[in-house]
Chains A and B, each alone.
Chain A
Amino acid sequence: MTEPAASPTPDQMPAYVSQIPRRGAVAAFFAPVAGFGVSLGNMFKPMVTEEYPREPANVKPRFHGRHQLNRYPDGLEKCIGCELCAWACPADAIYVEAADNTPEEQYSPGERYGRVYQVNYLRCILCGMCTEACPTRALTMTNDFELAGPTRAGLIWEKQDLLVGLSPGMVAPPHPMVEGTKDTHYYCGEVDEATQAQREWVRQNRPDDPSLDATPKGLAAAVPVGATRARQQKITAAARREGGAR
């Protein structure tokens, strides 16, 4: 074994030598005002200031904002209530309860749907592990990050707050699956839009369903914005006005 080298005493240490190269005479003369060059240079570059909240913030397309529960093209929900999102969540922010689809009330393809779906945004760290865990791509994240409010209840979003609205071609569930399909057909993207039979079923069981009227207004009326989300929208709008939004 070798002896550890003894550290040198201060008087044995070499004198300090700077590694910065020495300036020339002209550079040394202008050195006290050289910093103004940066300011002057930036006057001729484009502005980078975010005018938020006066103007909407421009986040990147893959920004992890609040969640959204998606639908298949015929309007059925993608969520099957498997709770894998809740399982994956490192912050324990998601709570799910599943239930059976019945012939009278079919919300998603297959046997099981998410009856209760809650995300607690006081806990959520928007890490996106839940969306990675989702086996049906039911859960994705939007670019909406405006999640702040004065109450605890206002930050626990329920299924109706998270569920995406209806797009053209969809009919509001519950309604049966496309005739002759299984859940696998849905996963494989073989369903394009609600069929006549599905529309007919809804017409017979819920004649007043607004989504039967395939206009944007009807589709919007069929799935109203959830109460918590609506409240959050109000709070955000007010905060924006407060910030001088035009």
Chain B
Amino acid sequence: MTAPTTPRAGVPLVPTPAAPVVDAAAPTVTLTVDGLETTVAKGTLVIRAAEQLGIAIPRFCDHPLLAPVGACRQCLVEVWAPGRDGNLAKMPKPQPACAIECTPGMAVRTQHVSDEADSAQRAVMELILANHPLDCPICDKGGECPLQNQAVSNGRTQSRLLGGKRDYEKPVKVSAQVLLDRERCVLCQRCTRFCEQVAGDKFVDLQMRGARQQVGGFDTRLLDVAGQTPVADPDADGGEFASYFSGNTVQICPVGALTSASYRFRSRPFDLVSTPSVGEHDAMGSALRIDHRRGTVLRRLAGDDAQVNAEWLTDKDRFAFRWQEADDRITTPMVRRDGELVPVSWVEALDTAATGLRTAMTKGGVGVLPGGRVTLEDAYAYSKFARVVLGTNDIDHRARVTSDEETTFLAHQVAGRLMEVTFAELTAAPHVVLVGFEPEDEGGIMYLRLREKVLAGSMTLTQVAPVASRGAQRLGAVLVPTAPGTEAEVLDGIVPTAADAVLAQVAAGLATPGAVIVVGERLAGSPGALSAAVRLAKRCGALLAWVPRRAGERGAVEAGTLPNLLPGGRPVADAEAWEEVADVWGPVAALARPGRPVRQILVAAWGGELGGLVVGGVEPGDLPDPAAVCHALDEVGFLVSLEVRHSQVTERADVVLPVAPPAQKPGTFVTWEGRPRPFAQALTSTQASDHRVLDRLATAMGHQLGLGTLTAVHAELDRLGGWGGVRVAAPDVAAGLAPVVADGHAVLASWRLLLDAGRGQDGEEFLAATAHRTTALVSPATAAGLGLADGAAAQVSTARGSLTVPVQVVDMADHVIWLPTNARDCQVHEVLAVVAGDVVQVSVSNEEVPA
């Protein structure tokens, strides 16, 4: 029997995004290239018009996402254009095809038909090769090198230049991860233009003149300039902070001048098998390519997806993949016997888990914590497992700061609203307000997409935050200094009649059609802020987008791994919703009462009220008080852990069931937009995905989940479809009281940086060394009040512990101290057990801090 695939409510649970609309009325230009007539959009470069006709012109500096520069001169072609008299006249010299726009009636003759163009290209190639070393055998680019290829297709077979070549010390460490071999550089400026035009971090630039011209950081030793330059923004390696996007320069370098330390000399392109995939480190869903050899992932490159990540990738998505093959991978199911975890067969592990969970169900029930890193299919399996097998709504994937207000907000504003605000809406917005969200640290690609529009002058930004981060500064965002916890007050103050000029201006900006308010997951920690954001969006007619940090969060919301939601955004309190799921799931007891959110689940576990827990990819450190989480896990009667690697959860688990990491399973991540990003299995694996393990566990407990294969899950999701019924009402929580800050105290502001101590970045030391160095940020007034000086050490403490951090005095909200949440040497949750908005004690430290 085949299952009907028509969605119940007429809309699919996760719809496929529509193709982008092409503007047919845009002005066009008609010209000929090599005698072939073509019509292209006005403003098209000659090199692109030729590409569209399938005519290849060699090039190095040209890149479709960077402004033309005409630096390498490799694309010289013969150009004829109508003169004033209307007759075609040849331009006196060959022209660079990458820097000339098509004009009406133009006739372009490329190297395929024109001897002049061919001769010019060969001459340029000869000059480029004059100084390029013959070290292709040891160069990482060898085999996939545009210079190698084009030297063969458009160069001479033998060199006529017999003199010595330029010789530089090699390699230069631009950062711990990016290495520069200057003698290989052809000065195409792709990397420097990327830094300037895309990332906004000028960590490499052109320097020196003439024959000594070279790309590099401003290294006084290499440049032979006396004296030291101060390191403005240090990284963990002791150098100057490079960029979160530095890996892109390695990918776009058309020669092997820029290479990454993690891939240097590791393999050759012909060794590699490539599998397209999706980034698992953030909710952007960046398209990427996994290159693997003999079952080992060797590198990841950015995929090309104009609608999502363009052709870029964050360094975290690019380099942080070794965690998936770390030494602490769990390879067999394990069961605790006499206090020790022992490897057992799947049958035994599943039977033990089934027996334990059945007992736990009679002793207070079982809670489910899938974690925010699951795929849509896995989240759906957790959701169905909780409702059908465990008979509970106690399920919450949010391993972070949460609130009941957020639970309602997600049900009202996020669930079921797929592809309503996407990158297309965001980049078309004239004004964007960011609240509780750092686009560079918590979005990565979103920062690049916003910056593109800011540079184009079509967008302005406002950020409601305690401090203008480095990313926000480079976006030119106007900061509304806001102490953590007072976001609601500020958002409610955004009215056209506001006395504060900035707030009135933001209100005016939001009133323009298409304006977007972006709220981050962190806003859950500020009472009333999400309610205020919904009110603000309604008041100004702006779009509201919620951007989580983890890859699985949005998909999990759609799959109903929340205490108040069933799959498809169906409220648990709605009887009709239960009827709809019962049609697909079979008879299921309707549980109209919302379950407990993550905090209450853990409190119940601590108090012994809960009989058992099923935990997916959750780290205790994800939650505000890791020690308390560990204690709750110790106290709970029966603990089943589905994990990729050993963790603090598996240490306490009664049964450990191994699951596959993303490279070893197929699945779908749902981005912040609600865009499904399916990815294929890159490596063969004996490990199964969570949904398959849960399906087998359910079978052991006497239920048929029917989620054994990806096809089965997809068929069921299709049958279930989205929710057309009544939504949960908008949250309406009053703003919290501003905290009272006594002398010697400050309010903690904090978020997770892109590169930190997260376990997803394990095993990649080069990447870790490019992270920001930890500093505590305070305003001048706060510093004066606390007796802190710029560069000196501060001791931040709570009753639980203390951290010693060097201080940086910046312009920011007063009575606030900012710390990175999870830096290697500053673990706010682990040590202080506080979250943003809490008051911490700050004093001058006598301890030495590393310079």
Contact = CB atoms under 8 A, between A and B. Distances in A.
B267 interface: yes
Contacts, number: 36
A86 B143 CA distance: 13
A87 B270 contact: yes
A239 interface: no
A82 B137 contact: yes
A214 interface: no
Contacts of A136: 137
B265 A110 contact: no
B271 interface: yes
Contact of A82 (B138, B170, B264, B266): B138
A99 interface: yes
Interface in A96-112: 97-100, 110-112
Interface in B158-188: 170-171
Interface in A42-87: 80-84, 86-87
Given A82-B142, A87-B270, A135 B265 contact: no
A81 B138 CA distance: 7
A120 to B, nearest CB: 14
B358 interface: no
B268 interface: yes
- Majority SS of interface residues in chain B? loop
B265 A112 contact: yes
Interface in B104-154: 137-138, 142-143
Q: Bin chain B's interface residue count.
A: 10 to 19
A135 B137 contact: yes
A100 B266 CA distance: 9
B271 A81 contact: no
Contact of B138 (A80, A86, A97): A80
A132 B484 CA distance: 68
B265 A83 contact: no
Nearest to B139: A82
Kindly name the residue among B265, B268, B270 whose own CB sees the greatest number of chain A CB atoms within 10 A. B265
Contacts of B142: 82
A84 B137 CA distance: 7
A102 to B, nearest CB: 12
A69 to B, nearest CB: 15
Interface string B250-277: 0000000000000011111011000000
Contacts of B171: 111
Nearest to B270: A87
A31 B271 CA distance: 66
A87 B268 contact: yes
B783 to A, nearest CB: 44
B206 to A, nearest CB: 25
A84 B264 CA distance: 16
Interface in A165-189: none
A83 B138 contact: no
A200 to B, nearest CB: 25
B271 A100 contact: no
B264 A100 contact: yes
Contacts of B138: 80-82, 98, 110-112
Contact of A80 (B137, B264, B266, B268): B137
Given A110-B138, A111-B138, A83 B271 contact: yes
Nearest to B181: A111
Nearest to B164: A184
B266 A98 contact: yes
A206 B82 CA distance: 77
A21 B610 CA distance: 111
Nearest to A108: B138
A91 to B, nearest CB: 15
Contacts of B137: 80, 82, 84, 135-136
Interface size class of A (residues with CB under 8 A): 10 to 19
A18 B137 CA distance: 64
Nearest to A136: B137
A136 B134 CA distance: 12
A142 B267 CA distance: 27
B505 to A, nearest CB: 54
Nearest to B171: A111
B264 A83 contact: no
B187 to A, nearest CB: 23
A100 B268 contact: no
B804 to A, nearest CB: 34
Contacts of A98: 138, 265-267
Contacts of A84: 137
A10 B170 CA distance: 84
A80 to B, nearest CB: 5
A90 to B, nearest CB: 13
B150 to A, nearest CB: 20
A130 to B, nearest CB: 13
A111 B265 contact: yes
A82 B143 CA distance: 11
B740 to A, nearest CB: 57
Contacts of A80: 137-138
B169 to A, nearest CB: 11
A44 to B, nearest CB: 57
Contacts of A99: 265
Nearest to B294: A95
B519 to A, nearest CB: 46
B180 to A, nearest CB: 13
A97 B264 CA distance: 11
Contacts of A100: 264-265
A81 B143 CA distance: 14
B66 to A, nearest CB: 30
Interface in B564-606: none
Interface string B35-65: 0000000000000000000000000000000
A70 B132 CA distance: 28
A83 B272 CA distance: 13
Contacts of B268: 82-83, 86-87
A110 B268 CA distance: 18
A97 B137 CA distance: 13
A112 B268 CA distance: 13
Interface in B713-730: none
B313 to A, nearest CB: 24
Which residue, B137, B264, B268, has most C-beta atoms of chain A within 10 A?
B137
Interface in B234-293: 264-268, 270-271
Nearest to B170: A111
B823 to A, nearest CB: 29
B265 A81 contact: yes
A80 B265 CA distance: 10
Contacts of B170: 111
Contacts of B271: 83, 86
A177 B170 CA distance: 16
A97 to B, nearest CB: 7
Interface of A: 80-84, 86-87, 97-100, 110-112, 135-136
21 contacts: A80-B138, A81-B265, A82-B138, A82-B268, A83-B270, A83-B271, A84-B137, A86-B271, A87-B143, A87-B268, A87-B270, A97-B266, A98-B267, A99-B265, A100-B265, A111-B138, A111-B170, A111-B171, A112-B138, A112-B265, A135-B137
Given A82-B138, A83-B268, A87-B270, 19 more contacts: A80-B137, A81-B265, A82-B137, A82-B142, A82-B268, A83-B267, A83-B270, A83-B271, A86-B268, A98-B138, A98-B265, A98-B267, A99-B265, A110-B138, A111-B170, A111-B171, A112-B265, A135-B137, A136-B137
Interface of B: 137-138, 142-143, 170-171, 264-268, 270-271
By Cβ-Cβ distance, the 7 closest A-B pairs, closest first, are A82-B137, A98-B265, A112-B138, A135-B137, A83-B268, A112-B265, A80-B138
